[in-house]
Chains A and B, each alone.
Chain A
Amino acid sequence: MPPFNIIQAVQDALQIAMRADPKVVVLGEDVGKFGGVFRATVGLQEEFGDDRVIDTPLNECGIVGTAIGMALYGLRPVVEIQFSDFIYPAYDQIVNELAKYRYRSGGQFPCPLVIRTPFGGGIRGGHYHSQSPEAVFAHHAGLVVVAPSNPYDAKGLLLEAVHAQDPVMVFEPKRVYRGPDHGTNWTGHPLGEVPAGAYRVPFGVARQWRPRRGVGTAVTVVSYAAMVHVCERAAVLAEADGLDVEVIDLRSLVPWDVDAVCSAVRRTGRCVVVNEAPRTCGFAAEVAATVGEQCFDWLLAPVGRVTGFDTPFPYTLEHLYLPDPARVLDAVRSAAHYA
Chain B
Amino acid sequence: MTDSTRITEPVGARAPVRTRASGPVQPALPLSSPRLDDFEQAGTGPFPRFVPEDTAACLDVFRVLRPDGTVIAPDPALENGTGVADDDALAMLRTMVRVRALDDRMLGLQRQGRIGFYGAATGQEAATIAAGHALELRDWVHPALREGGILLHRGWPLWSYLAACFGNADDTSTRGRQMPCHYGSRQYNYVTLSSVMATQYPQAVGTAYAMALQHAAPDRPVCLGCIGDGATSEGDFHAALTFAGVMRPRGLGLPLVLYCQNNQWAISTPVERQTAAASLAMKAAGYGLIGARVDGNDALAVLRVMRAAVASARAGGVPAFIEAVTYRVGAHSTSDDPTRYRDEAVTQRWKALDPIVRLAAYLATRGVLVPGDAERMATEADDEVRATLAQVEKVGPPPIEWLFDDVYAQVPAALAAEREALRARLAAAPGAAHGS
Q: Are A258 and B182 neighbours in the complex by a CB distance under 8 Å?
A: no
Q: Are A74 and B214 neighbours in the complex by a CB distance under 8 Å?
A: yes
Instruction: Please tell me the size bucket of the interface on A.
Output: 35 or more
Known: A73-B140, A97-B199. A104 touches B213 (CB 8 A): no
Known: A51-B249, A105-B184, A109-B192. A69 touches B206 (CB 8 A): yes
Shortest distance between the CB of A282 and any CB in chain B (Å)? 19
Closest Cβ neighbor of B192 among chain A residues: A105
Q: Are B207 and A59 neighbours in the complex by a CB distance under 8 Å?
A: no
Contact of B242 among A59, A92, A258 (CB under 8 A): A59
CA A142 – CA B182 in complex, angstroms?
19
Q: Are A70 and B413 neighbours in the complex by a CB distance under 8 Å?
A: no
User: Scoring B residues 163 to 175 as 1 if CB is less than 8 Å from chain A, else 0, what string do you get?
Assistant: 0000000011111
Stretch in A32-40, A60-68, A221-229, A296-304 with 4+ CB within 8 Å of B: A60-68
Q: Are B406 and A106 neighbours in the complex by a CB distance under 8 Å?
A: yes
Residue of A61, A62, A100, A110 with most partner-chain B CB within 10 A: A62
Interface members, chain A 47-106 (any B CB < 8 Å): 51-52, 54, 56-57, 59, 61-62, 64-75, 77, 89, 92-93, 96-97, 100-106
CA A97 – CA B235 in complex, angstroms?
15
Q: Are A65 and B206 neighbours in the complex by a CB distance under 8 Å?
A: yes
Specify which chain A residues have a CB less than 8 angstroms from the CB of B184 in the assembled complex. 105-106, 108-109
Specify which chain A residues have a CB less than 8 angstroms from the CB of B223 in the assembled complex. 69, 73
Interface members, chain A 199-220 (any B CB < 8 Å): 204
Closest Cβ neighbor of A61 among chain B residues: B239
Specify which chain B residues have a CB less than 8 angstroms from the CB of A263 in the assembled complex. none
Interface members, chain A 248-278 (any B CB < 8 Å): 255, 258
The answer to the question of B6 belonging to the interface, with a C-beta cut-off of 8 Å to chain A, is no
Q: Are B409 and A65 neighbours in the complex by a CB distance under 8 Å?
A: no
Shortest distance between the CB of B173 and any CB in chain A (Å)? 6
Q: Are A25 and B213 neighbours in the complex by a CB distance under 8 Å?
A: yes
Interface members, chain B 129-181 (any A CB < 8 Å): 140, 142, 171-175, 177-178
Closest Cβ neighbor of B172 among chain A residues: A106
Q: Are A69 and B186 neighbours in the complex by a CB distance under 8 Å?
A: no
Known: A62-B202, A72-B203. A104 touches B409 (CB 8 A): no
Closest Cβ neighbor of A164 among chain B residues: B409
CA A144 – CA B410 in complex, angstroms?
12
CA A108 – CA B199 in complex, angstroms?
18
The answer to the question of B204 belonging to the interface, with a C-beta cut-off of 8 Å to chain A, is yes
Q: Are A141 and B407 neighbours in the complex by a CB distance under 8 Å?
A: yes
Q: Are A69 and B205 neighbours in the complex by a CB distance under 8 Å?
A: yes
Q: Are B186 and A104 neighbours in the complex by a CB distance under 8 Å?
A: no
Q: Are A51 and B186 neighbours in the complex by a CB distance under 8 Å?
A: no
CA A212 – CA B239 in complex, angstroms?
53
Closest Cβ neighbor of A50 among chain B residues: B249
Specify which chain B residues have a CB less than 8 angstroms from the CB of A197 in the assembled complex. none
The answer to the question of B50 belonging to the interface, with a C-beta cut-off of 8 Å to chain A, is no
Closest Cβ neighbor of A103 among chain B residues: B406
Specify which chain B residues have a CB less than 8 angstroms from the CB of A185 in the assembled complex. none
* Residue count of chain B within 8 Å CB distance of chain A: 52
Q: Are B414 and A255 neighbours in the complex by a CB distance under 8 Å?
A: yes
Q: Are A106 and B203 neighbours in the complex by a CB distance under 8 Å?
A: no
The answer to the question of B321 belonging to the interface, with a C-beta cut-off of 8 Å to chain A, is no
Contact of B214 among A56, A73, A107, A141 (CB under 8 A): A73
The answer to the question of B370 belonging to the interface, with a C-beta cut-off of 8 Å to chain A, is no
Specify which chain B residues have a CB less than 8 angstroms from the CB of A103 in the assembled complex. 177, 406-407
Specify which chain A residues have a CB less than 8 angstroms from the CB of B182 in the assembled complex. 104
CA A166 – CA B409 in complex, angstroms?
6
The answer to the question of A165 belonging to the interface, with a C-beta cut-off of 8 Å to chain B, is yes
Q: Number of contacts between A and B (CB, 8 Å)?
A: 157
Specify which chain A residues have a CB less than 8 angstroms from the CB of B207 in the assembled complex. 69-70, 72-73
Interface members, chain B 197-213 (any A CB < 8 Å): 199, 201-211, 213
Known: A61-B202, A97-B196, A255-B414. A75 touches B178 (CB 8 A): no
The answer to the question of B191 belonging to the interface, with a C-beta cut-off of 8 Å to chain A, is yes
Known: A56-B243, A61-B202, A93-B202. A109 touches B186 (CB 8 A): yes
The answer to the question of B388 belonging to the interface, with a C-beta cut-off of 8 Å to chain A, is no
Interface members, chain B 258-310 (any A CB < 8 Å): none
Specify which chain A residues have a CB less than 8 angstroms from the CB of B175 in the assembled complex. 106-107
User: Scoring B residues 399 to 436 as 1 if CB is less than 8 Å from chain A, else 0, what string do you get?
Assistant: 00000011111101110000000000000000000000
Specify which chain B residues have a CB less than 8 angstroms from the CB of A101 in the assembled complex. 192
CA A71 – CA B246 in complex, angstroms?
19
Interface members, chain A 152-171 (any B CB < 8 Å): 164-166
The answer to the question of B236 belonging to the interface, with a C-beta cut-off of 8 Å to chain A, is yes
Q: Are A106 and B171 neighbours in the complex by a CB distance under 8 Å?
A: yes
Q: Are B172 and A142 neighbours in the complex by a CB distance under 8 Å?
A: no
Contact of B408 among A59, A104, A142 (CB under 8 A): A142
Contact of B203 among A65, A144, A204 (CB under 8 A): A65
The answer to the question of B377 belonging to the interface, with a C-beta cut-off of 8 Å to chain A, is no
Known: A51-B250, A65-B239. A106 touches B174 (CB 8 A): yes
The answer to the question of B5 belonging to the interface, with a C-beta cut-off of 8 Å to chain A, is no
Residue of B177, B203, B247 with most partner-chain A CB within 10 A: B203
Closest Cβ neighbor of B250 among chain A residues: A51
Shortest distance between the CB of A116 and any CB in chain B (Å)? 17
Residue of A69, A97, A101, A102 with most partner-chain B CB within 10 A: A69
Q: Are A65 and B210 neighbours in the complex by a CB distance under 8 Å?
A: no
CA A56 – CA B410 in complex, angstroms?
33
CA A183 – CA B197 in complex, angstroms?
49
Shortest distance between the CB of A23 and any CB in chain B (Å)? 8
Q: Are A73 and B173 neighbours in the complex by a CB distance under 8 Å?
A: no
Q: Are A69 and B208 neighbours in the complex by a CB distance under 8 Å?
A: yes
Known: A57-B246, A66-B202, A69-B202. A104 touches B174 (CB 8 A): yes
A-B contact pairs, 7 of them (CB 8 A): A56-B246, A69-B208, A70-B209, A92-B199, A100-B194, A105-B186, A164-B409
Seed contacts A62-B240, A166-B409; 10 additional CB < 8 Å A-B pairs = A51-B249, A56-B246, A62-B202, A65-B206, A70-B210, A72-B206, A92-B199, A102-B407, A104-B177, A164-B409
Contacts from B to A (Cβ < 8 Å): 140, 142, 171-175, 177-178, 182, 184-186, 191-192, 194, 196, 199, 201-211, 213-214, 223, 235-236, 238-240, 242-243, 246-247, 249-250, 405-410, 412-414
* A-B residue pairs, 10 tightest by C-beta: A69-B206, A65-B202, A62-B239, A73-B210, A165-B409, A105-B192, A106-B175, A66-B206, A69-B203, A69-B207
